[in-house]
Chain A
Amino acid sequence: MSIPVGRRHYWPLSSLLLFCVGTSPTVAGDPAKLIYRSNVTEVRLNFSAADQNNHGVATLQASDFAVVDSDVVVRNFQSFTRSDWTKLEIAILIDASESVTPRFSQEMADILHLVSSAEGVPPENLSIFSFEGSRPALLCAGDCRASQAAGRLPEVRAHGLTPLFDTIVFAEDYLAHHGDARAEKTLIVFSDGVDSVSQDSLGDALDASVRSEVQLDCIDLNKSAYGSQGAAILRNLASATGGRYFSPPEGTTGVLNALLEELRANYIVTYRLPSRAPGFHAVRILPTHNLKLQFRSRIGYYYPNQVQ
């Protein structure tokens, strides 16, 4: 039994055939070179919201904020959701250099506390980095829960040079290529912000974090943040990536609790790309009604010259 095909149905049929011809494998003799082209149409942004007391806001609505993307105000979003805490990728960077020796034991205790507090985060989403000599090192990944980590972390000694920026780039590269590409990724840096031997610069570390979409939360181990260049570097790293900076006088337990609370109250918004201009697109999130709300996100993203 034949299926009747009306005259007006020929056009879509012929279009489909043309499409099939256009996408058929290359004939013999042609170089087997396939080029897959894709088109980026959507921007995806992780951010956190806090009230005037710096407490995370867990009841944010899409109408409470607007995104300013390269000067353009975006209010129409394609999606707006709370980020999934169970998909969060957490990496911890321990500054094991000589400059933090006085606070090293306290630093270790804080990290162990943080690792044991991160309930709900799967073990495979947790990793710890430090230095070995003048090189970055991965201390543990996937098995860093307090019971195992307690045995490994004391091997780190507070001595030697400080390849801080190299280790940040190393850890960001690890996070960028590990786990779910859509998962939120954060690097918690315990450091005094002093770097003595890195090949990468502060600019490289910032650039890597913007490209890999990794948020940096910095816990300052200086005795005082006043007049400290290291504190300024840590502050810069945190603000550029949408993370938080914690100054030395703040209590460590309170800091860790605030950090975990905020990570649990993060959001993801997606919207249509407002401009296809290649290069850096600065991004800022601002309130639509309540000016007391504060938003933290990365400072922007790169749109490539040619998307392939």
Chain B
Amino acid sequence: MKRALFCIVVFAFPVFLSAQDHSSQQGTIIRMRMTDCMGPQHGFMAAMSGASKVESGALCPEYVLAGEKVVYIISGKTSDQLIPLAEITRFRLQKNEMLIRIDDASKESHFHIKAMVLRP
């Protein structure tokens, strides 16, 4: 029984890894500006539903990230949540947020998705 379980884990692990790779995408940051920070409840859904915008006075970085098929407009949650402006930025999407691993950070940084447009 243990041997069977071990075999399942061994064979399933590469499949799991490959599934992780597929969810990871890459793109290039083509624009960047500082803009008013979004409130904690504001994300893509709130922006699409037309909810009123809460401005705290602080400025947060906003990026235009051109993916392979979609162009995203994302914003940091704090003023110092900067993304390295390398040629290629790797990211993945989870629960209406974009997750980007910055440098060797142990955790991925979460960014609000403000808008998405299909690339022509």
Q: Which residues of A contact B (CB under 8 A)?
A: 65-66, 68, 71-73, 75, 284, 286-291
Contacts and interface: CB of A to CB of B under 8 A. Distances in A.
A82 to B, nearest CB: 22
A289 B33 contact: no
11 contacts: A72-B31, A75-B85, A284-B32, A286-B32, A286-B82, A287-B85, A288-B84, A288-B86, A289-B84, A290-B84, A291-B82
A286 B86 CA distance: 10
B102 interface: yes
A287 B29 CA distance: 13
Contact of A73 (B31, B82, B102, B103): B31
Interface string B72-100: 00000000001011110000000000000
B84 A291 contact: yes
Contact of B103 (A72, A284, A286, A290): A290
B51 interface: no
B32 A289 contact: no
Nearest to B102: A291
Contacts of B87: 75, 288
A174 to B, nearest CB: 34
The CB with the most chain B CB atoms within 10 A, among A73, A284, A287, A290, is that of A73
B104 to A, nearest CB: 10
Given A289-B103, A290-B103, A291-B102, A73 B32 contact: yes
B32 to A, nearest CB: 5
Given A290-B103, A291-B102, A291-B103, A73 B30 contact: yes
B86 to A, nearest CB: 4
Interface string B49-91: 0000000000000000000000000000000001011110000
Closest 5 CB pairs of A and B: A66-B85, A288-B86, A71-B33, A71-B31, A68-B32
A118 to B, nearest CB: 35
Q: Label chain A's interface by main secondary structure.
A: strand
A73 B87 CA distance: 10
Contacts of B29: 73
Contacts of B31: 71-73
Given A289-B103, A291-B102, A291-B103, A72 B30 contact: yes
A286 B85 contact: yes
A13 B92 CA distance: 59
Nearest to A72: B31
Contacts of B84: 286-291
B26 to A, nearest CB: 15
Nearest to B33: A71
The CB with the most chain B CB atoms within 10 A, among A65, A71, A287, A290, is that of A71
A228 B32 CA distance: 34
Nearest to A292: B103
A289 B85 CA distance: 7
Nearest to A293: B84
Contacts of A286: 32, 82, 84-85
B65 to A, nearest CB: 10
A288 B32 contact: no
A71 B29 CA distance: 11
B11 to A, nearest CB: 37
A57 to B, nearest CB: 16
Contacts of A289: 84, 86, 103
Contacts of A75: 85, 87
Given A289-B103, A290-B103, A291-B103, A73 B33 contact: no
B39 to A, nearest CB: 23
Contacts of B82: 286, 291
